[in-house]
Structure 1
Amino acid sequence: MVTAAPGEERSPALALVNTRRLGAGGEVDDLAEPPAAASWLGLPPATSLAADDLSRVTDLRAAVRELLAALAEDRAPSTGAVETVNAAARADAAAPQLTWPSGPHREWHSASPGSLSAALAALARDAIEVVTGDLGPLVRPCEAHGCVRFFFREHARRRWCSTTCGDRVRAARHQRLVVEQRESAQG
């Protein structure tokens, strides 16, 4: 089981981007198969995704990844990524609803709950909230070599998306120092 990157619990769009990552055996894609993608999206168990549906999911993931990368790199994202996110956000009619569990709370409710369009629209709206809101300045790519995940950097010293990545970087640094010391002792 992969540890969630900091912020995934608060942003489904961040979690979406991190469904593609590098694992011990190479690239891992949690959305590669239609049943896995449907489950990850929280669609009803009987939902079957076609190849076009899966493409919509992975296209949105790529677009959100581009938005987060552009934000972290302080550059403008591609117009295609912006268009993809905006199209997904408007593909499902939704309206804010007031709930009052222990005080006022706003929730978005879909006109077609449980549909692929509703799931993708919710992810796209979250991506828009992230890049335009208070969390935007916290978006960072993991600095571990080979890692492609993003996280919210809420501590100034944090550089990695997980302790696994941090441990890998520290182990590589230690190994590099051992080799340098060995070479300098021989030379």
Structure 2
Amino acid sequence: MVTAAPGEDGSPALALVNTWRLSTTGEVDELAEPGDATEWLRRHDLPAVTLGPDDLSRLAALRAAVRELLAALAEERPPDTTAVATVNAAARADAAAPQLTWQTGPLREWHSTRPDSLDEAVASLARDAIDVVSGDLGRLVRPCEAHGCVRFFLREHARRRWCSTTCGDRVRAARHQRLVVEQREASQQHP
């Protein structure tokens, strides 16, 4: 399993976007198989329902739409209107209502009107995406700057440029290798 990018643990929508990535062996899609997608939902405290092919397509379409929103935000451009419509439709898939609980005092909690359903999971992911892009976290959304990486992360430190230490190490190793080659070539030209 790949290390979570900064912000994924607090934003399931960011984690959703990063379920598709590139690796040295090609594309990786954590939602390609029903069992994998169900496990991913469970790991992110979303209803781990049994998924069929249409459900996988629905999750993949939401992932693509949220990816477009994050990319547009990071690139400071308007997103594709279809992506906005897809996320808004997904957010409406399940109505949530505030419920009052009283433990040590009053507490407002949001509860699904369709608990333990894919509609609940999709709506929760879409609402989180809306919160991220329209809230304070939106200014922190960045694409990883490592060559070949397509993941997004929340840039919580001004100097952070990569989604993981693996990507950062790859960039530093490539930079070092370039310097070694340049020094070798320079020394060969000036004996």
TM class by shorter chain equals over 0.9
Distance 1:107 1:150, change over 3 A: farther
**Number of residues paired by the alignment?**
186
| C-alpha distance in 2 between matches for 1:118 and 1:97 | 16
Q: Which amino acid aligns with 2:112?
A: S
8 Å CA contact 2:30–2:37 kept in 1: the answer is yes
Mapping of 1:41-80 within 5 angstroms? 41-42=41-42, 47-80=49-82
TM-score (norm 1): 0.93
Aligned partner of 1:186 among 181, 185, 188: 188
Alignment pair present for 1:147 and 2:149 = yes
Question: Residue in 2 aligned with 1:133?
Answer: 135
Q: Cα distance, 1:97 vs. partner?
A: 3.1
TM-score (norm 2): 0.91
Question: Any gaps of 5 or more consecutive residues in structure 2?
Answer: none
Question: Any gaps of 5 or more consecutive residues in structure 1?
Answer: none
Mapping of 1:78-89 within 5 angstroms? 78-89=80-91
| C-alpha distance in 1 between matches for 2:151 and 2:106 | 34
Q: Cα distance, 1:100 vs. partner?
A: 6.0
Question: Residue in 2 aligned with 1:25?
Answer: 25
Q: Which amino acid aligns with 1:84?
A: T
Alpha-carbon RMSD across the aligned residues, in angstroms, is 1.7
- Could you report, residue by residue, the CA deviation over 1:137-165 in whole angstroms, capped at 9, with x for unpaired residues? 00000000000000000100000000000
| C-alpha distance in 2 between matches for 1:12 and 1:106 | 21
- Could you report, residue by residue, the CA deviation over 1:46-83 in whole angstroms, capped at 9, with x for unpaired residues? x4322111100000000000000000000000000000
| C-alpha distance in 2 between matches for 1:180 and 1:125 | 50
Question: Residue in 2 aligned with 1:15?
Answer: 15
Q: Cα distance, 1:105 vs. partner?
A: 5.2
8 Å CA contact 2:90–2:123 kept in 1: the answer is yes
Question: Residue in 2 aligned with 1:123?
Answer: 125
